Amino acid sequence: MPRYRGIDVTGTVERQFQIRRGETRNVSCHVRQVADRQRVVFVDVPEYFDRAGLYGEAGRDYADNARRFDLLALAALEFAAQDDALAPPDVLHAHDWQACTAPLRLRLERRWPRLAATGTVLTIHNLAYQGLFTKDVVPALHLPWESFGLDRGEFWGQFSFLKAGITSADCVTTVSPTYAAETLTKESGSGLDGVLRSLGDRYVGILNGIDTDVWNPETDPLLPANFSAGDLSGKAECKRELLAVFGLPRGDDAIGRPLVGMVSRLVQQKGLDLVEQASRELVDLDAGWVFLGSGDRKYERFLLDLAAAHPTRVGVHIGFDERLAHLVEAGSDIFLMPSEFEPGGLNQMDSLRYGTVPIVRAVGGLDDTIQPYTAHARNANGFKFKESSGDVLTNVARRATRLYHNRQAWRGLMRNGMAADHSWAGPAREYVKVYRRARAEGAVRARQS
Assess if residue 366 is contained within a domain.
yes
444 and 119 in contact (C-beta within 8 Å)?
no
Instruction: Write the secondary structure of the chain as one string of H (helix), E (strand) and C (coil).
Output: CECCCCCCCCCCEEEEEEEEECEEEEEEEEEEEEECCEEEEEEECHHHHCCCCCCEECCEECCCHHHHHHHHHHHHHHHHHHCCCCCCCCEEEEECHHHCHHHHHHHHCCCCHHHCCCEEEEEECCCCCCCEEECCHHHHCCCCHHHHCCCCCEECCEEEHHHHHHHHCCEEEECCHHHHHHHCCCCCCCCCHHHHHCCHHHEEECCCCCCCCCCCCCCCCCCCCCCCCCCCHHHHHHHHHHHHHCCCCCCHHHHHCCEEEEEEEECHHHCHHHHHHHHHHHHHCCCEEEEEEEECHHHHHHHHHHHHHCCCCEEEEECCCHHHHHHHHHHCCEEEECCCCCCCCCHHHHHHHCCCEEEEECCHHHHHHCCECCCCCCCCCEEEECCCCHHHHHHHHHHHHHHCCCHHHHHHHHHHHHHCCCCCHHHHHHHHHHHHHHHHHHHHHHHHC
With the C-alpha atoms ordered 66, 69, 72, 73, is the resulting torsion angle positive or negative?
negative
Q: Residue 85: its pLDDT value, please? A: 75
Q: Residue 23: its pLDDT value, please? A: 61
- The answer on 293 and 379 residing in a single domain is yes
Structural domain count, the chain: 2
- The answer on 319 and 175 residing in a single domain is no
pLDDT at residue 251 tops 80: yes
| Per-residue model confidence as pLDDT tens digits over 94-136 | 999 999 999 999 999 998 999 999 999 999 999 999 999 999 9
What's the whole-number average pLDDT of the chain? 93
Average pLDDT (263-282) is 96
Residue 147's CATH number: 3.40.50.2000
Assess if residue 384 is contained within a domain.
yes
Burial string for 325-360 (b: 16+ CB within 10 Å, else e) reads: bbbbbbbbbbbbbbbebbbbbbbbbbbbbbbbbbbb
Assess if residue 102 is contained within a domain.
yes
Assess if residue 342 is contained within a domain.
yes
Q: Residue 268: its pLDDT value, please? A: 94
pLDDT at residue 17 tops 90: no
Q: Residue 112: its pLDDT value, please? A: 93
- The answer on 440 and 402 residing in a single domain is no
Q: Residue 106: its pLDDT value, please? A: 96
Assess if residue 42 is contained within a domain.
yes
**Cα–Cα distance for residue pair 254/259, rounded to 1 Å:** 8
Percent of the chain with pLDDT over 90: 83
The residue among 363, 362, 346, 364 whose CA lies nearest residue 354 is 346
Please measure the distance between the N-terminal and C-terminal CA atoms of the chain and give it in whole angstroms.
Answer: 30
Q: Residue 376: its pLDDT value, please? A: 85
Least confident stretch, 6-15, 275-284, 297-306? 6-15
Going by pLDDT thresholds of 50, 70 and 90, the confidence category of residue 79 is confident
pLDDT at residue 203 tops 70: yes
Residue span of the structural domain in which 80 resides: 13-209+427-448
- The answer on 48 and 192 residing in a single domain is yes
Going by pLDDT thresholds of 50, 70 and 90, the confidence category of residue 331 is very high
- The answer on 332 and 284 residing in a single domain is yes
- The answer on 307 and 288 residing in a single domain is yes
Assess if residue 22 is contained within a domain.
yes
Going by pLDDT thresholds of 50, 70 and 90, the confidence category of residue 11 is low
- The answer on 250 and 200 residing in a single domain is no
Assess if residue 18 is contained within a domain.
yes
Going by pLDDT thresholds of 50, 70 and 90, the confidence category of residue 83 is confident
Going by pLDDT thresholds of 50, 70 and 90, the confidence category of residue 284 is very high
70 and 142 in contact (C-beta within 8 Å)?
no
Q: Residue 24: its pLDDT value, please? A: 58
pLDDT at residue 148 tops 80: yes
- The answer on 155 and 266 residing in a single domain is no
Assess if residue 216 is contained within a domain.
no
Going by pLDDT thresholds of 50, 70 and 90, the confidence category of residue 449 is confident
- The answer on 179 and 267 residing in a single domain is no
- The answer on 80 and 160 residing in a single domain is yes
Question: Residue 372's beta-bridge partner residues?
Answer: 382
Going by pLDDT thresholds of 50, 70 and 90, the confidence category of residue 367 is very high
- The answer on 171 and 80 residing in a single domain is yes
**Cα–Cα distance for residue pair 49/58, rounded to 1 Å:** 17
pTM score, whole prediction: 0.91
361 and 271 in contact (C-beta within 8 Å)?
yes
| Per-residue model confidence as pLDDT tens digits over 28-61 | 776 665 556 677 888 888 889 999 999 999 889 9
Q: Residue 20: its pLDDT value, please? A: 74
Percent of the chain with pLDDT over 70: 96
Q: How far is CA 238 from CA 188, 217, 315, 350, in A?
A: 39, 10, 16, 15
- The answer on 76 and 53 residing in a single domain is yes
Least confident stretch, 54-63, 127-136, 229-238, 258-267? 54-63
